[in-house]
Amino acid sequence: MTKPREKTREKLTAEIEVGKKKIRQFENREKMLRQKLSKEERRTRSHRLIVRGAVFENIVPEVKDMTDEEAAVLLRFALTSQPAREFLRKRAGNATS
């Protein structure tokens, strides 16, 4: 009588091992997909920064000869002006509508 029970136990143990292997495979797949997503997000951000930097240089060619700090001061000054603040306020109002 103990033979059938042993066979069942072996089958269950084997099934557990198969299940554990599948779990590891799915965890590895999840890790790979998360890395791929992260890489795509970095690529998208880099592209956006390059495009916006190019627009900035195109509008203000003098920025090419400025230090990073000088460019930041110029940009900060420009964006804190009254017209810039009004534009941003209107844009924020349109985004919530």
- The percent helix, strand, coil of the chain (3-state, each to 5) is 95, 0, 5
Residue carrying the six token digits 């460019």: 71
Q: What angle do CA 16, 20, 23 make, to 5 degrees?
A: 140
Same domain, 66 and 52: no
- How far apart (Å, rounded) are the C-alpha atoms in residues 36 and 42? 10
Same domain, 14 and 50: yes
How does DSSP classify residue 97? -
- How far apart (Å, rounded) are the C-alpha atoms in residues 41 and 18? 35
- How far apart (Å, rounded) are the C-alpha atoms in residues 35 and 50? 22
Same domain, 12 and 48: yes
What is the number of structural domains in the chain?
2
Per-residue pLDDT of the chain (97 residues; tens, 9 = 90+): 556 677 799 999 999 999 999 999 999 999 999 999 999 999 999 999 999 999 999 999 999 999 999 999 999 999 999 999 999 899 988 876 5
Same domain, 78 and 54: no
Structural domain boundaries, residue 27 = 1-59
For residue 94, the model assigns a pLDDT of 83
Same domain, 70 and 53: no
For residue 96, the model assigns a pLDDT of 66
Do 71 and 63 form a contact (C-beta atoms < 8 A)? yes
Same domain, 96 and 55: no
For residue 86, the model assigns a pLDDT of 93
